[in-house]
Chain A
């Protein structure tokens, strides 16, 4: 199976700023590594205190991988995810996504890069309440050169992929939590991003809906080969991912294999 574009969505080519062209360029440039963090440190100032959210973290995430970043609260999971998504800056070290070192990009370039390469899913969905499901999913496409009929086709395909083709005219308030998260995932995949970044995507859902979302993400990873980086507290997620990266107190402590076949669990491999 190919990418989302191969299945349902007619991609218009490089001019669209989305789709295969960007993905292929990304794949060739980045070879087998989707994300590479080298000696990344991120500190925040909280009043008079300096908080070290990430401390000299180095790790790589393979292309087409489905990885979970896990750890206790305050371990730096979300900070790491934000750096990968390009919505936060490392205090030191480098974050290379594909072949691009995003730590050197300015805000404008970073925004354009996010639009091309990143799909973001939040814990609380973060859909715009004044827009319908269709319009929410269409939002990232407004930044491309796609014309309205093309945008419509892309949105319909994305909503179909998440099983909400019949809810496209519904507003977020008219959807359940699980459905809202599906719309958020459709919004994240509609531009056919090279990396899907999900921050606690099941954190606000009941067990059934959480399971459905994890299955959906697995499908997206397997069918469309989307690299997925997910931060989660949810131990059920370990069954669905290829690799689990563990952080504690801002330090990368190692990775272990996940997956349905991960029982018994592969011993934790310490960080280099």
Chain B
């Protein structure tokens, strides 16, 4: 086949503009496809990552805005299988400008090891210094922060500011941009309200998670602050569930984009082959078999489609890298990336577009009567 390579590329470059435009149109469509298909894949990956978690998130049934009493922590700690309990307060806050927001939460310093799988650094200092905070690496990059730096967050929900010292970083949190500081500092600044928006409960075995969830909710049933407890995976899932319809829509749109570009590619291939039917007939008269002709034509189409696929994948991959560095407005989706599986799938779709779009016209051209074709062309 290598001796036909030159012929293949000469034909590809026959109409450079058309080839480039076809590659670009396939590239744009497959970029859209890669992005849209990455969304549900990313969500499923997030759920899969937390599926074996031994952490439970317990909130009030009334919603985020209503806190639970701090006293629940002691009661939770006495339940079977519970090994650690950490209260968590959602502070909010603005760093510099209103546009510079990122999630900031306060938790119990002595329980920070509960999240050791998040790749925490500076944990010892966090436990020692009341104003210490740990900052996600995405936030560190975004605001060009460094360990040892002092920062101030302006309260939005709460009428006070907090001045924090960065003592460490978080490498693999649930979102790429957030901050954790100490709850005792929050309590002091807020006048000791004794609240927590969530309790994170760590159990000794992931298999007992449903059982402990039920035990927690039973314990506080009919109280003034009933709880709704769920595994970390379920908690993440409930957040993602709000986006589920968009993800389904995204998958459908991805499919539509592929079908649309498939039709465009088929039309382009048919036109290109039709223009060359005389040459194809001549090649066949020289002894080129239908199989060789078919392979050459489909090969051209494959090269175009795979080039477009590679461009689409590359742009999607690069764009998400840039997003991950510079944006936080996408919430949990800011850590979206194009997984290797989606890259492979996109290239597979590109190959399929190349094959399907050219096969029918190429097969027809390769089997058409030489004499009839030459008569038509001459």
Q: Chain A residues in contact with chain B, CB under 8 A?
A: 82, 85, 87-88, 107-108, 111-116, 118, 120, 122-124, 126, 128-131, 135, 139-140, 142-143, 148, 187
Contacts and interface: CB of A to CB of B under 8 A. Distances in A.
27 contacts: A82-B371, A88-B370, A88-B371, A107-B289, A107-B290, A108-B289, A108-B291, A111-B287, A111-B288, A111-B290, A114-B286, A114-B287, A115-B286, A120-B285, A122-B378, A123-B378, A129-B14, A130-B10, A130-B13, A130-B14, A139-B283, A140-B286, A142-B3, A142-B7, A143-B287, A143-B292, A187-B286
A148 B289 contact: no
Given A130-B10, A130-B13, A112 B289 contact: yes
A141 to B, nearest CB: 9
Contact of B3 (A114, A122, A131, A148): A148
A131 B289 contact: no
Given A107-B290, A126-B279, A130-B11, 18 more contacts: A87-B284, A87-B285, A108-B289, A108-B290, A111-B288, A111-B290, A114-B286, A115-B288, A116-B287, A122-B378, A126-B282, A126-B374, A135-B10, A139-B283, A142-B3, A142-B4, A142-B7, A143-B288
Given A87-B370, A112-B287, A122 B7 contact: no
B6 interface: yes
A107 B293 CA distance: 13
A72 to B, nearest CB: 18
Nearest to B6: A135
B215 to A, nearest CB: 76
A239 to B, nearest CB: 27
B278 interface: yes
B14 to A, nearest CB: 5
Contacts of A143: 286-288, 292
Contacts of A130: 10-11, 13-14
B368 to A, nearest CB: 11
Nearest to B9: A130
A130 B287 CA distance: 19
A148 B283 CA distance: 19
Give the top 9 A-B pairs by smallest Cβ distance, nearest first: A115-B287, A111-B289, A87-B370, A114-B287, A126-B282, A130-B10, A88-B371, A140-B286, A130-B14
A87 B11 CA distance: 24
Given A124-B378, A130-B10, A87 B289 contact: no
Contacts of B371: 82, 87-88
Contacts of A108: 289-291
Interface string B326-370: 000000000000000000000000000000000000000000011
| Number of chain B interface residues as a range | 20 to 34
Interface in B1-27: 3-4, 6-7, 10-11, 13-14
Contacts of B278: 126
A54 to B, nearest CB: 13
Given A107-B290, A114-B287, A148-B3, A122 B282 contact: yes
A123 B374 CA distance: 11
> By CB atoms of chain A within 10 A, which of B4, B278, B292, B378 has the most?
B378
A88 B371 CA distance: 6
A128 B282 contact: yes
A252 B287 CA distance: 28
A186 B288 CA distance: 17
A87 B286 CA distance: 10
A222 to B, nearest CB: 25
Nearest to B375: A78
A166 B291 CA distance: 35
Contacts of B370: 82, 87-88
A111 B3 contact: no
Interface in B177-212: none
A124 B378 CA distance: 8
A72 B284 CA distance: 28
Nearest to B278: A126
Nearest to A87: B370
A118 B278 CA distance: 19
Contacts of A129: 14
B288 A85 contact: no
Contacts of B11: 130
A148 B278 CA distance: 27
Contacts of B13: 130
Contacts of A82: 370-371
Nearest to A115: B287
B287 A140 contact: yes
B286 A120 contact: yes
A131 B7 contact: yes
Contacts of A135: 6-7, 10
A128 B283 CA distance: 9
B378 A85 contact: no
Contact of A128 (B279, B291, B292, B378): B279
Contacts of A114: 285-287
Contacts of A112: 287, 289
Interface in B244-296: 278-279, 282-292
Contacts of B292: 143
Contact of A85 (B7, B285, B290): B285
Interface string B287-309: 11111100000000000000000
Nearest to B12: A130
Contacts of B286: 114-115, 120, 139-140, 143, 187
Nearest to B282: A126
A265 B291 CA distance: 48
Contacts of A87: 284-285, 370-371
